[in-house]
Amino acid sequence: MSRALSEQEQLRRESLQKLREIGVNPYPAYLFPVDASSSSIKENYVEGKEVVIAGRLMSRRIMGKASFAELQDAEGKIQLYLNRDELCPGEDKSTYNEVFKKLLDIGDFIGIEGKQFKTQVGEISVDVNKLTVLSKALRPLPIVKTDADGKVYDAFADPEQRYRQRYVDLVVNPKVKDTFIKRSRIINAMRDFFNQQDYLEVETPILQPIPGGAAARPFITHHNALNTQLYLRIANELYLKRLIVGGFNGVYEFAKDFRNEGMDRTHNPEFTVLEIYVAYKDYNWMMEFTEQLLEDVTSKVLGSSEVKFQGEVINFKAPFARVPILDAIKTHTGVDVALLSENQLREKCKELQIEVDDTMGKAKLIDELFGEKCEMHYKQPTFITDYPVEMSPLCKKHRENPELTERFELLVNGKELANAYTELNDPIDQLERFQEQLKLSEKGDDEAMFIDQDFIRALEYGMPPTSGMGIGIDRLVMFLTNNTSIQEVLFFPQMRPEKKAVELSESEKTIFELLKQENSIELPILKEKSGLSNKQWDKGIKGLSKHSVVKVEKEDDKLMVKII
């Protein structure tokens, strides 16, 4: 069953047909020899120079025998001037009168040849002397207009439509395109930074038999040939460390991770993370490395280490502040965790109106305390360091205090942007930590880590002292493009599927069943038989006609209903 077409869609299909009838192929297969672009023309304007450009027709201002139009290519828009007698110098004016004025629509791809010139108002334009149809658009684009002051009218702004039909969003909202261009540049700048130091970009499995390296619920899938359960990775940490065991000096991966958890404006089920591991380094070195990386990336991509984000100015100029987590808690709550037992700490948390329960250990309490009372204070990039050992099962114990670890998180605008460790390379300690996690999992924590025996085996062969760091790329891009929603920095954020094909409603089914017995029946009799109320009958019979399932016909003054 085909979709009902709107009036505008029907007209465009008719235009498509007419183009073919007059010998114009609406979808030609040939290469179109573009030699300029909207931006190259504006940047290197030469009066009278011939150019060949292509793009979408985005607006038309027809004034009888001459017209202005806007062409949008990958870089932006440029104005076209079409003069009937220049475009059609002979007797046949059909390219202008028929093709351009009648059969083309906004959104169609066209190629043009013409001369650069400036209009009386001074706008750089192209005077068209040849026009080629490159691809006809059958659906109308939303029309977004911008006036001389940059004020936007009728913006295509509904988030649902924008995310579901990102292609449309990209065509009509230039800012959206900018965000994704920046995203690509950010990743390139990071890659350059790592490659300059001779770290190796690697790829590790997405389908993993044991989902390790983080505490999160995985997606589960099944491999038929192996007849085994596999998981989509929640992190790539354990694989990258295996490569350090294998002898690489530094490895990094821009990885898609998958977590089967809630979705909101900062969480998408699949997201991108950069993880990097460098041998013979510790977390102090990694802090300096991270600072330099972010200063370098912001300067290269934005031209400045200062980033405007939601009215705040965030400065990524190195060095960043460094605050041990217990100091942060003391500063913002007055609680000196080091002096308190677990129960005393739990009481303190209750006093501070933090929700706690008896299953929470000291680490979890500290985490809550920090998350609720401290995190939001760190707007400027700040390294929070030395987390409790229970929270960090893959991190080496602190060289001065075995209850803590050599870990830092980078907070920006109160949110975690990066996470790093001096990696745990003692295989016996690592196995014990995994076993601790197993106990948590037996207590019902469905996010506690699995024991990865092969990873332990790798560590038993020896891993050099190593520091590793991960950055949430989506969140970084959000900061650097001033977006508060992760959906704005993903081309295709996860959405619930759109509605399925229409099924028959109850009333429609009732009528259809009756009709199937007779094939053709008088309308009043059918209505009587159906036993439906007026409204149900009306909706039912109208629905069936609309779905082209039945037809109502007049025969000898009788209304007959027939199955089609």
Partner RNA sequence: GACUUGCUAGCUCAGCUGGUAGAGCACAUCCCUUUUAAGGAUGGGGUCCAGGGUUCGAACCCCUGGCAAGUCACCA
Q: Binding to RNA (CB under 7 A): which residues in 463-492? A: 484-485, 487
Looking at the Cβ atoms of 62 and 181, the one nearer to RNA is 62
The least distance separating RNA from the CB of residue 489, rounded to whole angstroms, comes to 13
Interface of this chain with RNA, residues 209 to 248, rule: CB under 7 A: 214-216
Q: Mask: binding to RNA, 512-531, rule CB under 7 A, as x and -?
A: --------------------
Hunting for tokens 């060095």 — which residue is that?
A: 319
What is the three-class DSSP state of 206? coil
* Tokens encoding 242: 């295996």
Residue pair 495/163 in contact (Cβ under 8 Å)? The answer is yes
Among positions 495-514, residues that touch RNA (CB under 7 A) are 495-496, 499, 502, 505-507
Are residues 76 and 38 in contact, defined by beta-carbon separation less than 8 angstroms? yes
Q: Do the Cβ atoms of 238 and 251 come closer than 8 Å?
A: no
Nearer to RNA, 62 or 338 (CB): 62
| Sheet strands (E) in 136-291 | 145-146, 152-153, 200-201, 207-208, 220-223, 228-232, 250-258, 270-279
Minimum CB distance to RNA, residue 322 (Å): 16
Residue nearer to RNA on the CB measure, 157 or 338 = 157
- The Cα 262–Cα 494 span in angstroms is 11
Taking the least distance from each CB to RNA, the nearer of 266 and 299 is: 266
Stretch that binds RNA, among 54-62, 173-181, 316-324, 551-559 (CB under 7 A): 54-62
Whole-angstrom distance, CA of residue 84 vs CA of residue 97: 8
Among 91, 198, 355, 358, binds RNA (CB under 7 A): 355
Nearest-angstrom CA–CA distance, 364 and 123: 63
Q: Does 536 contact RNA by CB under 7 A? A: yes
For RNA, the closer CB: 155 or 428: 155
Angstrom distances, CA of residue 81 to CA of 98, 112, 115, 408:
17, 11, 10, 59
Question: In degrees rounded to 5, what are phi and psi of residue 199?
Answer: -85, 150
Candidates 265, 308, 439, 457; binder of RNA (CB under 7 A) is 265
Q: CB–CB of 392/407 below 8 Å? A: yes
User: 87 vs 186, which CB is nearer to RNA?
Assistant: 87
Please select the residue that binds RNA; options are 28, 74, 89, 102, rule is CB under 7 A: 102
Q: Which of 529, 524, 497 is nearest to 511 (CA)?
A: 529
Q: Do residues 210 and 242 lie in contact, with contact meaning Cβ atoms separated by under 8 Å?
A: no
Nearest to 28 by CA among 148, 111, 91: 111
Comparing CB distances to RNA, the nearer of 260 and 520 is 260
Site string for RNA, 160-189 (x = CB under 7 A): xx-x--------------------------
Distance of alpha carbon 373 from alpha carbon 102, whole angstroms:
65
Can residue 119 be called a binding residue for RNA (CB under 7 A)? yes
Cα atoms in the Cβ-side hemisphere of radius 13 Å centred on 516: 7
**How distant is the alpha carbon of residue 314 from its chain centre?**
23
Q: Which of 76, 539, 549, 563 binds RNA (CB under 7 A)?
A: 539
Interface size with RNA, residues (CB under 7 A): 82
Q: How many residues does the chain have?
A: 564
Binding mask 397-426 for RNA (x = CB under 7 A): ------------x------x--x-------
> What part of residues 444-463 is at the interface with RNA (CB under 7 A)?
447
Is residue 106 a contact residue for RNA (CB under 7 A)?
Answer: yes
**Site residues for RNA, window 55-74 (CB under 7 A)?**
59-66, 68
Shortest Å distance, C-beta 555 to RNA: 27
Q: Is 11 in the site for RNA (CB under 7 A)?
A: yes
CA 367 from chain centre, in angstroms, equals 29
Which lies closer to RNA via its Cβ, residue 75 or residue 98? 98
CA 471/CA 418 separation, integer angstroms: 4
Minimal distance, residue 31 CB to RNA, in Å: 29
Residues 125-164 contacting RNA, CB under 7 A: 125, 127, 140-148, 153-161, 163
- Dmax of the chain from CA atoms? 100
Three-state secondary structure string covering 304-349 = CCEEEECCEEEECCCCCEEEEHHHHHHHHHCCCHHHCCHHHHHHHH
Cβ proximity to RNA: between 10 and 221 the closer is 10
Rule CB under 7 A: say whether 261 interacts with RNA: yes
Given 114, 212, 393, 540, the residue binding RNA (CB under 7 A): 540
Report in angstroms how near the CB of residue 92 gets to RNA at its nearest.
Answer: 15
